[in-house]
Structure 1
């Protein structure tokens, strides 16, 4: 059963001007995490020594290129031609939208979420509130909105495959990870239902035979359950261990696939 939720959006603080941005950098203010980011011109480090990255001295202010978070207002730093001056130019962009649906299945609560490019999250849990909190934390400051009828059908399809995995799950995906993680996740999608592979075998398949532990970490970082089937990866002795959503769920998924 799916539960459609209402829209929710993190309320971001407003920063009126560049002086306020600089003050936030100096204070290392956590309340503005996700609102903007900054970089430091390496040349400035050769001239100034004042704590981490030299931040805190007025002389370094012009060398910190403050940029608005890309999904709200992107700030591009333009060198004005003088060593002590930087001009900031803004370009407005719409905030990203994440659609989601909460439901219940035989493995507990489930959350399905997607960007405009594809499914970015399929997660199990014991508490729907915890699943929602994790989604907000991962995709802040994107806007979260309950799905429409089309998205509800997509989420229902994902849940149906969890209950009867023989048919597979053919959905557009939008996984968020490093290049290495993406290579591992792509290899996982090639493991057929009812089959398994060891972490060492996956490492060899992606051309990184010594990266067995890194493969295991990539599997643990996967947030799109079943569609990226990290549950099909086992130890070299075929023992079932290590699953983001609990070994009990991993065993249940494997048992369903092997008897389908």
Structure 2
């Protein structure tokens, strides 16, 4: 039988390689510091913080780490979900703000359905790390009105690389912001970037920057796919991209190239600066 451990509200606990294999639940404003530890699934209530250094999280079902208005900081650590999403970073709709995820120093997050899912107000920050959806229809990262910053990292999805949609629990759309710096994004069989995964019923707005030798790789030769009811700003800076940008009728995309950037491919229904 799987052991379960709880960190009480407002307290801090440390675990290491000698700690028994178990699941972990953080109550509100609790902190778990894991160093060279191995654990099962982790979940956190509002204000909770997971600090993982040289540690591994493995979930047989559900998300590897589930955050609700909480934070996870991974340093040279890994998270894997055999059936679900690696890290779920969501919010309570009655609360202000979202969840925060930081990956650095070779951290790896994998999940069958997707690597990381962040919804409204969630902030994802990747530094020299890897995020992967391992299933055939998976996403690397899914953003619903949050922000993603990735430097020196790799994001891969079995279908699409990074997908962007709208939080369905709101009436006012907030743009999703994505900055890719020296980062590779790949959709193995689909598009590298998809904007409007739940449009047109929930219109989506995304501002995307691709900088400093970043690459976008796709199985369908589409770098950026903007679906009906969505709009995207797409800035390419000091990067050479090859592939198509496709924009559905009734949607919009504004593509800007600067600082020796290039984009070789078809641009369908795309606006470019004069």
The answer to whether TM tops 0.5 is no
Please tell me whether Structure 1 or Structure 2 has the larger radius of gyration of its CA atoms.
Answer: 1
Higher helix share: 1
Normalized per residue, which structure has more strand? 2
Question: Which structure exhibits the higher relative contact order, with contacts defined as CA atoms closer than 8 Å and separated by 6 or more residues?
Answer: 1
Tell me the TM-score normalized by structure 2: 0.24
